[in-house]
Amino acid sequence: MKNFIITAVIFLMCSSLSSVSAQNSDSIAIRRIYNDALSDSTSYSILRYLTTKIGGRLAGSPQSLKAIQWAEQLMRGMKLDTVFLQECKVRHWVRGEKEVARVISGKTSLNLHVCALGGSIGTGKNGITAGVIEIRDYDELKKLGKDKVAGKIVFINHPADPTFYNTFGSYGGTAGYRVRGAVQAAYYGAIAMIDRSATPVHDNNPHTGIQHYADTVKKIPALSISTNDADKLSLLLRSDPELHIFVRTTCEELPETVSYNVIGEIRGAIHPEEIIAFGGHIDSWELGQGAHDDGAGLIESIDILRLYRSLGIKPAHTIRAVAFIDEEMEQRGAKAYVAASLLPQDGMNKVVHIAAIEADRGGFTPWGFSIDASNEQLKKVQGWKNLLLPYGLYSLEKGGSGVDVGPLKSQKVPLFGLVVDPQRYFDYHHSATDTFDKVNIRELQLGTAAMAALVYLIDTYGL
């Protein structure tokens, strides 16, 4: 019995020492990852080129194809094991000439800051002039009915709720009006829809974004108005409910065109058929330079591969950076990506994803990761918290991942979203102010390091 107890104690001590040794080894590896990421400015220089030399790059545009070619050349220059393009068809919507909107009220003429929403039809070259109906929500629209709305421009003035600490909660409460506002207004006979920008900040920059039509309702022009001008228009309507607005847009839908996801890999030394994917989207709205949305997330993802090469880390599983196309319009790149991982004849997996991470919340200071996985997998990731906490990664909670990696959920793949400080994201999101100068180099480097650390832990211990 005595010998048994001694043996058990020795076993427990060895196990404990082994665990401590593994923890120390992981701490050293993660420290090396952060040291490299924070000491190297490559990612910032790459983002500068993408945003200032190529600029806004809506899917289907010549700029998007230029960005795709550039990303492919960039990855090939990194001497990765595999670089390839993944084809898909995308919509090709163009904004046309600068939008015009003007208040006409007696002797008052006020120009408004507006922009067309993505996918909107144009007004025609002569524009339209009509009275305005202001609403706060769809219930008000329903109460007004067709008699009061028909022939008018519906102005949806639904401000972002500033009481949300996480601004993504506020965005969720406003974006629905942008997406479906034109359909709801047209159902009651409106001839155009103007929506208050989905941002908590007060400025003169209208924020665009996708809006959707319905086959059963007539298509009408859909625009976004800056928050400052939304407030002005609301005040003017109180003093003159009969005022009119002139609106002119020349946007149009061109034939669909071929586009591509760009994929680069470092092949796994032990399990090359098992993939850890991470990425962001290469397309962006063309009002700005697409720096935070999503140039930052894309470049952070690509920089993980550079970092692995720089440190000489040989992953056990294949690690893959994906530059997704068409996130802003219809996510056809994401759909093509998940379709390519299936064999067409029987639906069986061609490759096995063991995890997928998306970075699409801006290039701000990382807080951690949202995790869309089983409770057992969640618990395992939370067990790594002591390794990540020294770098400010305290948030490892259940939550969504992102629309580009989302389709992989059908294959039961554990999904992650990089969570960052959300306070400034919607100041720039989908607007002309989303430019390179708004991205801080250190925050960008921290984003790379955070994702690389998670990739390292998943690669080492699995899920």
**CATH number of the domain that residue 384 is part of:** 3.40.630.10
Average predicted confidence (pLDDT) for the chain: 94
**Alpha carbons 387 and 405: distance in angstroms, whole number:** 25
Residues 219 and 318 reside in one and the same domain: no
Of 250, 270, 287, which closes a domain?
Answer: 250
Residue 4 lies in a domain: no
Flag whether pLDDT at 212 surpasses 70: yes
**Alpha carbons 401 and 106: distance in angstroms, whole number:** 51
Q: Could you report the per-residue pLDDT of 94-143, keeping only the tens digit for each?
A: 999 999 999 998 877 899 999 999 999 999 999 999 999 999 999 999 99
Q: What is the band of 345 on the pLDDT scale with cuts at 50, 70, 90?
A: very low
Residues 239 and 321 reside in one and the same domain: no
Determine contact, residues 132/236, Cβ cutoff 8 Å. no
Residue 63 lies in a domain: yes
Averaged pLDDT for residues 348-375: 93
pLDDT score for 348: 53
Q: What is the band of 205 on the pLDDT scale with cuts at 50, 70, 90?
A: very high
Residues 217 and 81 reside in one and the same domain: no
Of 250, 266, 281, which closes a domain?
Answer: 250
Q: What range does the domain containing 203 cover?
A: 98-250
pLDDT score for 106: 81
Residues 160 and 78 reside in one and the same domain: no
Six token digits for residue 202 = 């007060």
212-to-5, 217, 362, 432 alpha-carbon distances in Å: 70, 11, 24, 22
Q: Could you report the per-residue pLDDT of 143-198, keeping only the tens digit for each?
A: 999 999 999 999 999 999 999 999 999 999 999 999 999 999 999 999 999 999 99
What residue has token string 């065109």? 257
Residue 379 lies in a domain: yes
Strands 366-372 and 352-358: unpaired
Determine contact, residues 432/205, Cβ cutoff 8 Å. yes
Query: For residue 133, which of 154, 118, 163, 117 has the smallest C-alpha distance?
Result: 154
Residues 310 and 407 reside in one and the same domain: yes
Flag whether pLDDT at 455 surpasses 70: yes
Number of domains in the chain: 2
Other CB atoms within a 10 A radius of the CB of residue 372 amount to 21
Q: Provide the percentage of residues in the chain whose pLDDT is more than 70.
A: 93
Residues 105 and 83 reside in one and the same domain: no
Residues 164 and 290 reside in one and the same domain: no
Residues 456 and 328 reside in one and the same domain: yes
pLDDT score for 56: 98
Q: Could you report the per-residue pLDDT of 50-106, keeping only the tens digit for each?
A: 999 999 999 999 999 999 999 999 999 999 999 999 999 999 999 999 999 999 988
Angle of the 2-39 helix axis to the 441-461 helix axis, nearest 10: 150
User: Which range is least confidently modeled, 19-28, 185-194, 224-233, 367-376?
Assistant: 19-28
Determine contact, residues 362/433, Cβ cutoff 8 Å. no
Determine contact, residues 336/420, Cβ cutoff 8 Å. no
Residues 71 and 185 reside in one and the same domain: no
Strands 366-372 and 415-420: antiparallel
Q: Which residues pair with 350 in a beta bridge?
A: none
Residues 134 and 180 reside in one and the same domain: yes
Q: Could you report the per-residue pLDDT of 421-439, keeping only the tens digit for each?
A: 999 999 999 999 999 999 9
**Alpha carbons 443 and 38: distance in angstroms, whole number:** 9
Residue 292 lies in a domain: yes
Residue 17 lies in a domain: no
**Alpha carbons 322 and 312: distance in angstroms, whole number:** 21
Averaged pLDDT for residues 270-291: 97
Residue 211 lies in a domain: yes
Backbone phi, then psi, for 287, in 5-degree steps?
Answer: -65, -40
Residues 169 and 202 reside in one and the same domain: yes
Q: Could you report the per-residue pLDDT of 302-325, keeping only the tens digit for each?
A: 999 999 999 999 999 999 999 999
Residues 305 and 189 reside in one and the same domain: no
- ω before 139 within 30° of 0 (cis)? no
Query: For residue 353, which of 397, 302, 263, 414 has the smallest C-alpha distance?
Result: 414
Residue 14 lies in a domain: no
**CATH number of the domain that residue 198 is part of:** 3.50.30.30
Q: What is the band of 13 on the pLDDT scale with cuts at 50, 70, 90?
A: very low
Averaged pLDDT for residues 27-36: 98
Of 250, 284, 302, which closes a domain?
Answer: 250
Residue 19 lies in a domain: no
Q: Is 279 helix (H, G, I), strand (E, B) or coil?
A: strand
